[in-house]
């Protein structure tokens, strides 16, 4: 099966399990979200996929086994992970941030990939020389997505992209992600706490609670809200 497939995946830190028995799939070209309260294991799930924490079980991407590979090898296979807090290289210029994102490309491909990012985010094009740390939160989020796209990924994973952004900015971010997905033909996997922002963007949501997947359903399904409410109330 093409796309991302997790079978019986678990992960943890120093012997303390955080996730267990996760089965989920993100078929090629689709968009999905992982929802859940703080501490449910959402970030750990992304970190297991990108190899930052070693997973148990099997993770495959377009048929190739990812589990056991290093994060840099997984990135080179076409999975871009924009981590919690965006991972901006704040002392570096916008252009340097994008060039870092393109580290896995052949030398001759970097400028072309950068032009594509600037076409998607014209606001960044005029700020090539600006130090990334001096930009607003919304601009830094665009830069982080642009950095991820520099990998020419087939799957883009974003950890709480709406964090710290005003609702209006979140709305335009969702619009941008929809455009990116259509134009680049990639899959999206987002981690969020807030369903409202994502409803029009993703086709499926996976609700995590205490390290387990408790529901996979379309975002409109009333069971999703029910599961989230139960999770927040600690049921």
Q: How far is the CB of 193 from another protein (least distance, A)?
A: 22
Q: How far is the CB of 126 from another protein (least distance, A)?
A: 20
Pairwise CA distance, residues 38 & 43, whole Å: 9
Q: How far is the CB of 91 from another protein (least distance, A)?
A: 5
Residue with Cβ nearer another protein (70 or 136): 70
Residue with Cβ nearer another protein (100 or 196): 100
Binding positions for another protein, rule: CB under 8 A: 50, 52, 70-72, 75-76, 80-83, 87-92, 96, 99-104, 107, 131, 133-134, 147, 150-151
SS (H, E, C) the chain: CCEEEEEEEEEEECCEEEEEEEEEEEECCCEEEEECCCCCCHHHHHHHHCCCCCCEEEEEECCEECCCCCHHHHHHCCEEEECCCCCCCCCCEHHHHHHHHCCCCCHHHHHHHHHHHHHHCHHHHCCCCCEHHHCCHHHHHHHHHHHHHCCCCCEEEEECCCCCCCHHHHHHHHHHHHHHHHHHCCEEEEEECCCHHHCCCCCEEEEEECCEEEEEECCCCHHHHHHHHHHHCCC
Q: How far is the CB of 15 from another protein (least distance, A)?
A: 14
Q: How far is the CB of 232 from another protein (least distance, A)?
A: 29
Measured at the CA of 167, the angle between CA 164 and CA 170, to 5 degrees, comes to: 75
Residue with Cβ nearer another protein (88 or 209): 88
Residue with Cβ nearer another protein (150 or 224): 150
Residue with Cβ nearer another protein (84 or 199): 84
Residue with Cβ nearer another protein (81 or 127): 81
Neighbours of 215 (CB within 10 A): 18
Q: How far is the CB of 162 from another protein (least distance, A)?
A: 19
């Amino acid at each position: 099966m093409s796309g991302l497939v997790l079978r019986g995946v678990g992960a943890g830190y120093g012997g303390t399990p955080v996730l267990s028995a996760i089965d989920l799939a993100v078929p090629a070209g689709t968009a999905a979200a992982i929802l859940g309260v703080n501490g449910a294991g959402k970030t750990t799930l992304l970190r297991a996929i990108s190899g930052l924490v070693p997973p148990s079980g099997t993770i495959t991407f377009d048929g190739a086994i990812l589990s056991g590979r290093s994060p840099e090898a997984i990135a080179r296979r076409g999975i871009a992970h924009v981590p919690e807090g965006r991972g901006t290289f704040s002392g570096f210029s916008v252009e340097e941030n994008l060039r870092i994102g393109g580290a896995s490309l052949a030398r001759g491909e970097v400028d072309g990939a950068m032009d594509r990012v600037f076409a998607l985010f014209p606001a960044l094009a005029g700020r090539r020389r600006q130090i990334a740390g001096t930009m607003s939160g919304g601009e830094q989020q665009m830069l982080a997505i642009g950095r991820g796209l520099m990998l020419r990924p087939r799957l883009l994973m974003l950890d709480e992209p709406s964090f710290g952004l005003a609702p209006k900015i979140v709305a335009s971010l969702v619009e941008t992600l929809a455009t990116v997905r259509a134009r680049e033909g990639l899959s999206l996997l987002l981690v969020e706490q807030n369903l409202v922002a994502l409803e029009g963007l993703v086709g499926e949501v996976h609700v995590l609670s205490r390290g387990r997947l408790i529901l996979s359903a379309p975002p409109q399904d009333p069971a999703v809200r029910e599961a989230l409410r139960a999770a927040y109330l600690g049921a």
